[in-house]
Structure 1
Amino acid sequence: MRVIDEEKNSWFLFEEEGKLLFDVNCSHSFVGYDFMMFLNGEEIALYKEKGREYLNELANAIDYSSPISRSSTSKYKERYVYDQYSEKSLDAIDSWRENSDSM
């Protein structure tokens, strides 16, 4: 896994085995959490077309939909994969920051 891009305090975009993994920093009231999901074909096409602007829009849509809430009807809810990839993502972020600091 490797970091491709980030929007500070908002999201990270990772590459994992040829797939794009999107990690959004969400918050609702006093609760903060990470929501991670793989981008689907439509989202990848929009990312290629609009770039970071699209990822900012998607991050806002995910955060607004409150996908971890029990009563949420978020269309992203079933795509949650943070538990499976959190350790690898933290290692990738550490490497990304080490390389950024050395430049």
Structure 2
Amino acid sequence: MIVLDDEHDGWVLLAEDGQVYLDVLYSHSAVDYLFLLRLRDDEVALWRERGPAYLDDLAYRIHASAPGVVGSRSVYKSRSLVLTPERERASEAIRSYRSTA
């Protein structure tokens, strides 16, 4: 997995094997969470068309929907890649990227 773009305090865009992932940092109460999801084809097309502004908006919508909060009805909740091999590879790619940046 490789880092394509990094909005350090908000999101990281990654890619692997033709798939694009967005890792979003969000906070609710006193707890910070990372939320990784694979972008759908329509979301990739919007990112390519609108650039980082689209990812800022998507990250905001994810944050506002609170997919990591117990009882959340977020439309993104079912797309979570928490506790998956993708999450592990994304975390490693981000650590490596930021250590050399």
TM-score calculated relative to the size of structure 2 = 0.91
1:10 aligns with 2:10: yes
The match for 2:34 is 34
Measure the CA separation in 2 of the matches of 1:90 and 1:74: 23
Give unmatched runs, 5+ long, in structure 1.
none
Identical-residue share of aligned pairs (%):
39
Radius of gyration: which is bigger? 1
**Structure-1 separation of matches of 2:34 and 2:81:** 10
TM-score by length of 1: 0.90
RMSD value over aligned CA atoms?
1.2
**Structure 2 portions without partners, runs of 5+:** none
- Report the Cα distance in structure 2 between the residues aligned to 1:12 and 1:55, rounded to whole angstroms: 9
Measured after TM superposition, the shift of residue 94 of structure 1 is 2.6
Structure 2 equivalent of residue 86 of structure 1: 87
Aligned residue runs from structure 1 range 1-103, under 5 A: 1-84=1-84, 85-100=86-101
How many Å separate the matches in 2 of 1:68 and 1:96? 25
Moved over 4 A (4+): none
May I ask how many residue pairs the two structures share in their alignment?
100
Output the amino acid matched with 2:75: K
SS of the counterpart of 1:97? helix
Secondary structure of 1:83's aligned partner: coil
Q: Tell me the secondary structure at the aligned position of residue 82 of structure 1.
A: coil
Secondary structure, in 3 states, of the residue corresponding to 1:3?
strand
